[in-house]
Structure 1
Amino acid sequence: MLVVTGLVLFVTTTAIAQVVRQMVPQLEGPTPSMENGAAEPLPKWVVDDQRKMRAYPDQPPVIPHSIEGYELSVNANRCLTCHKREFTQDSGAPMISVTHYMTRDSQMLADVSPRRYFCTACHVPQADTGPLVPNRFKDMSEMGFKPAGSE
């Protein structure tokens, strides 16, 4: 009796699982094939050293030059050889923000904060590509908004 009950319970559970599997939509789409295909060509980096307009306030600026071969590790940060406060006059590079010299409690430090040391966590080189997904983003200036006090 116990074996028959277990067998009936097993068959019932299996049948319910198959029904539920058919009712739940697959979230990730069809499984991609494992065929080898040609790789997309790598985009060219924008290396014109021109500052780009930011899309929103407090956006980290993009890196307008090549960083290929830059060492960025616990022991060395090549970005700081030009962008650190004391080197900007000779290099002509913009100084990193004063916020990079602050702790999370807004205490000023004499050197770059360890939480702001790995530049590429926020700043990225700019590639010459289009958007990955289509969008209709418009800057506020394109939407007819005027700066405060302009009227």
Structure 2
Amino acid sequence: MNTTSRLFSSAILAVFLALTSLTSAVAEPKLKSLRGSEIQGADTESADPFKSEKDRAPIERNYVQQPPLIPHKVETYTVTKNFNKCMDCHAWTRYKETGATKVSLTHFKTRDGQELSNISPRRYFCLQCHVPQADAKPLVGNRFQAAEGIGH
């Protein structure tokens, strides 16, 4: 067997192995916990338990200072150090036009309480605190009770 034939055979074998591993990965789309165990009853082919819903009424907050949940999809939103898609609607200059909630004044302060003319860098990446709401049953049991007088 000459060198060209060996290279060609090796390339064919590499492509075959890559396709085989991709096929097996696609064949079993199971959700796993952060610790690696499979989540029972969470088959991603049938329904995504974390699927966010588009533009619905916000879920009430359960405690003081709880960041509001996002009542719309954000999967395609870009938030980088140079661009924040959330600000297209939630900026103080745009919220009336778009009907979105304006960014809180707390987002314009440093940790020392100094007021800024733009959003504080520590509050710029919205998805650190705000998450899309989803109509999903809890993955684990929870006995959390909402604080007295909050939303009730």
Could you tell me the TM-score, scaled by structure 1's length?
Answer: 0.65
User: CA separation of 1:75/1:140 partners in 2, compared to 1, >3 Å: closer, same or farther?
Assistant: closer
> Higher RCO, 1 or 2 (CA under 8 Å, sep at least 6)?
2
Q: Which runs of 5+ in 2 are unaligned?
A: 1-26, 31-42
Q: d(CA) in 2 for partners of 1:65 and 1:91?
A: 14
Taking the aligned partners of 1:136 and 1:87, their CA distance within structure 2 comes to 40
Q: 2:123 aligns with which of 111, 116, 125?
A: 116
Q: Distance in 2 between matches of 1:102 and 1:74?
A: 18
Separation in structure 2 between the aligned mates of residue 59 and residue 138 of structure 1, nearest angstrom: 14
- Corresponding pairs, count: 108
> Within the alignment, does 1:56 sit opposite 2:48 as a pair?
no
CA-based RMSD of the aligned residues comes to: 2.0
Q: Which letter maps to 1:51? A: P
Partner-residue secondary structure (3-state), 1:109:
coil
The match for 1:10 is none
1:70 maps to amino acid? Y
Is 1:96 aligned to residue 108 of structure 2?
no
Q: Can you give the 5+ residue segments of structure 1 that lack an aligned partner in the other structure?
A: 1-35
Structure 1 stretches of at least 4 aligned residues deviating more than 6 Å after TM superposition? none
Larger Rg computed on CA atoms: 1
Aligned counterparts, 1:123-142, within 5 A: 123-141=130-148
Report % sequence identity.
Answer: 44
TM-score of the superposed pair, with normalisation by structure 2: 0.64
What is the CA-CA distance between 1:127 and the residue it aligns to? Answer: 2.1
Contact 2:59 2:133 in 1 (8 A): no
- What is the letter of the counterpart of residue 94 of structure 1? T
Q: d(CA) in 2 for partners of 1:123 and 1:140?
A: 20
Q: Matched residues in 2 for 1:76 and 1:123: separation? A: 17
Q: Structure 1 residues 38 and 66, CA, compared in 2 at 3 Å: closer, same or farther?
A: closer
CA distance in 2, matches of 1:38, 1:100: 39
Residue identity opposite 2:104 in structure 1: S
